[in-house]
Amino acid sequence: MPTAELTLHSTDALDHAAPRGWVLVRIRTGHAGGGWAVDDSAVWSAGRRLLATGRQARLIRERRDPGTPGQTAAGTVNS
């Protein structure tokens, strides 16, 4: 699925150094339909501090069904 728009905002938590340890990434698909999907993301440190947020708009293309020449099958979106 090609990206039509991608925006990333980092917080001041990343001003001085990269976070240590694990991070939690939450991605939620708020809309999927009509050939588009829009995802919102948040990245949190192990210390529960917000590190970054993002939004992506994706174009959902139809894909060819390899089993049936000349026919298409709609793609799937996981959220």
79 residues of the chain, pLDDT tens digit each: 688 899 999 999 888 888 888 999 999 999 999 999 999 999 999 989 999 999 999 998 877 666 655 544 454 545 4
**Strands of the sheet with 23-33, listed across from one edge:** 3-10, 50-59, 36-45, 23-33
Rounded Cα distance, 73 and 50, in Å: 39
Whole-number Å distance between alpha carbons of 60 and 30: 14
In sequence order, what are the beta bridge partners of 8?
Answer: 54
